[in-house]
């Protein structure tokens, strides 16, 4: 007789992850509002708020990843598709995920206005995951370029940094669940990003040169 599993049921895992995510999201919203109001109050207050934001953003990302991973393991990743303009979503993600002192380095290059039916929240997390990698591992104050263009009936988003880059071996493994390139970025987040994009009928990739930088990209089909 086999021992009973001690793993929590999928629904319980999702409820816990969603509760954590909602709590963190509320705290982040309040901190962003405080940051805007504290702009003229002094740099010490502003820097304190930014440190709090910096601490909470990874926790928010991990809570969302925990929920998605539970659904992927159960083969129950359900997409909630709705119309969305990808350029607007990129701008919104930058505003939400990039701290004020980092924004000068981020450049948006929106070459098309592409409307898609996507799971808005999950695609936003894909963008945030790629952007987090660029901010974390790019050289300080070096530019980060976010580009949106349409090619061959696909909407293509790329996020490029100037930094240490990856070897060919690391690049091949970066989107796998168990990833030997873990020193470069969070493996689970990129694995989940790949699964989310593939569930939309798209694909992900990375172009990288050691000591030069890396470009993470994803492409989604544009349907009539």
Average pLDDT, stretch 185-205?
A: 87
Same-domain pairing of 101 and 17? no
Same-domain pairing of 112 and 208? yes
- From the number of C-beta atoms within 10 Å of its C-beta (0-12, 13-18, 19+), residue 48 rates as middle
CA distance 8 to 69: 13
Contact call for residues 178 and 192 (beta carbons, < 8 A): no
Question: Residue 109: what are its φ and ψ, rounded to 5°?
Answer: -125, 90
Average pLDDT, stretch 57-68?
A: 76
The residue with greater pLDDT, 179 or 143, is: 143
Q: Which of 15-29, 146-160, 191-205 has the lowest mean pLDDT?
A: 15-29
Interhelix angle 187-199/43-73, rounded to 10 degrees, is: 60
What value does the mean pLDDT of the chain take?
Answer: 81
Of the three residues 39, 73, 107, the one that is the final residue of a domain is 73
In this model, does residue 164 exceed pLDDT 90? Answer: yes
Helical ranges in the chain per DSSP H: 10-37, 43-73, 86-97, 120-137, 168-173, 187-199
Number of structural domains in the chain: 2
Domain harbouring 151, CATH code = 3.30.565.10
Q: Which of 21, 116, 118 shows the shortest CA–CA distance to 79?
A: 118
Same-domain pairing of 51 and 120? no
Average pLDDT, stretch 57-61?
A: 72
Same-domain pairing of 23 and 94? no
Residue 202 lies in a domain: yes
SS3 at position 203? strand
Q: Is the pTM of this model over 0.95?
A: no
pLDDT value of residue 160:
97
pLDDT value of residue 1:
41
Q: Which of 177, 178, 162, 175 shows the shortest CA–CA distance to 212?
A: 162
pLDDT value of residue 44:
63
The residue with greater pLDDT, 224 or 185, is: 224
Same-domain pairing of 96 and 194? yes
The residue with greater pLDDT, 68 or 62, is: 68
Q: What is the pLDDT of residues 2-40, one digit of tens each?
A: 444 444 455 655 666 666 766 777 676 766 667 666 655
SS3 at position 219? strand
C-beta neighbour count of 195 within 10 angstroms = 19
Same-domain pairing of 64 and 155? no
Alpha-carbon dihedral angle through residues 110, 199, 196, 65, given to the nearest 10 degrees: 160
Q: What is the pLDDT of residues 33-43, one digit of tens each?
A: 676 666 555 56
Find the domain containing 43 and state its range.
10-73
Of the three residues 33, 53, 73, the one that is the final residue of a domain is 73
Contact call for residues 57 and 98 (beta carbons, < 8 A): no
Average pLDDT, stretch 92-109?
A: 86
The residue with greater pLDDT, 170 or 102, is: 170
CA distance 88 to 96: 12
CA distance 20 to 14: 10
């Amino acid at each position: 007789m086999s021992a009973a599993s001690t793993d929590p049921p999928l629904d319980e895992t999702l409820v816990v992850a969603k509760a954590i995510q909602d709590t963190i999201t509320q705290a982040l919203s309040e901190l962003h509002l405080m940051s805007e109001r504290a702009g003229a109050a002094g740099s010490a207050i502003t820097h304190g708020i930014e440190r709090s934001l910096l601490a909470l953003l990874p926790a928010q990302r991990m809570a969302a990843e925990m929920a998605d991973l539970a659904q992927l393991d159960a083969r129950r990743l359900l997409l909630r598709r709705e119309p969305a303009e990808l350029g607007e979503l990129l701008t919104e993600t930058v505003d939400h995920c990039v701290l004020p002192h980092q924004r000068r380095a981020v450049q948006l290059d929106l070459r098309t206005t592409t409307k898609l039916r996507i799971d808005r929240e999950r695609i936003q997390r894909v963008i945030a995951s790629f952007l987090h990698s660029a901010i974390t591992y790019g050289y300080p104050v070096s530019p980060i370029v976010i580009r949106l263009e349409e090619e061959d009936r696909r909407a293509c988003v790329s996020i490029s940094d100037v930094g240490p880059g990856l070897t060919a071996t690391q690049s091949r493994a970066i989107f796998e669940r168990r990833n030997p390139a873990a020193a470069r970025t969070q493996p689970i987040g990129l694995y989940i990003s790949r699964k989310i994009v593939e569930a939309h009928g798209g694909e992900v990739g990375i172009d990288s040169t050691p000591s030069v930088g890396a470009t993470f990209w994803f492409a989604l089909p544009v349907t009539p």
